[in-house]
């Protein structure tokens, strides 16, 4: 992901996330050296951004901060491919694991993470705001080892 992708990523984000990142959040992420990967439609399909994933490098590990796929492109394997690319990149960088936080009500995302090898390692009570007041965050991690393929 480069700064040229921000507008398209923001449009996807605003369409599919209940509490979307702002343009500033994307700019700050890229400015801070976070890694963004994008999925683009083929030229035959008209091109354009289909989805993205953002990773924050840490010490020996990375946190997956955001992943989203355009509404019209969901359930076609784009999210899984983005997640697997993020895991492959993390393995290349020598990180031992990737972790993330996800709303306990986000069943599509939780199913995707489980299918890619993530397991639940904790819960943060009342971590997110939602219409009902607050929602728990599930903490999930995918342990990586060089050369191994998850999912």
Catalytic residues: 101, 113
Q: Which 99-118 residues touch ligand COA, going by CB under 6 A?
A: 102, 106-109, 111-112, 115
Residue 80 touches ligand COA, criterion: CB under 6 A = yes
Residue 130 touches ligand COA, criterion: CB under 6 A = no
The answer to whether 13 touches 22, Cβ cutoff 8 Å, is no
Residue 8 touches ligand COA, criterion: CB under 6 A = no
CB of 133 to ligand COA, least distance (A): 20
Query: Distance of CA 3 to CAs 11, 69, 92, 123, Å?
Result: 14, 18, 24, 33
Q: Smaller CB distance to ligand COA: residue 69 or 86?
A: 69
Report the alpha-carbon distance of residue 146 to residue 134 in Å, rounded.
38
Query: Distance of CA 76 to CAs 5, 13, 15, 33, 105, Å?
Result: 21, 18, 18, 29, 22
Report the alpha-carbon distance of residue 22 to residue 13 in Å, rounded.
9
Q: Smaller CB distance to ligand COA: residue 80 or 93?
A: 80
CB of 3 to ligand COA, least distance (A): 21
Report the alpha-carbon distance of residue 47 to residue 43 in Å, rounded.
5
Q: Which of 55, 66, 91, 137 binds ligand COA (CB under 6 A)?
A: 66
Residue 78 touches ligand COA, criterion: CB under 6 A = yes
- Binding segment toward ligand COA, per CB under 6 A, in 27-35, 73-81, 122-130, 137-145: 73-81
The pair phi, psi for residue 88, each rounded to 5°, is -65, -45
CB of 9 to ligand COA, least distance (A): 11
């Amino acid at each position: 992901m480069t700064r040229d992708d921000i507008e398209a990523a923001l449009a996807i984000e605003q369409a599919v996330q209940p509490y979307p990142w702002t343009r500033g959040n994307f700019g700050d992420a890229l400015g801070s050296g976070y890694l963004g990967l994008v999925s683009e439609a083929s030229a035959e399909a008209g091109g354009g951004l289909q989805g993205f994933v953002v990773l924050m490098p840490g010490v020996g590990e990375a946190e997956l901060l955001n992943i989203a796929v355009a509404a019209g492109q969901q359930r076609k394997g784009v999210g899984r491919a983005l997640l697997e690319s993020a895991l492959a990149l993390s393995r290349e960088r020598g990180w031992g694991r990737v972790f993330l936080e996800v709303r306990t009500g986000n069943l599509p995302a939780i199913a995707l993470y489980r299918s890619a090898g993530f397991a639940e390692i904790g819960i943060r009570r009342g971590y997110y705001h939602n219409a009902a007041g607050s929602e728990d965050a599930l903490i999930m991690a995918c342990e990586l080892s060089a050369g191994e393929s998850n999912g």
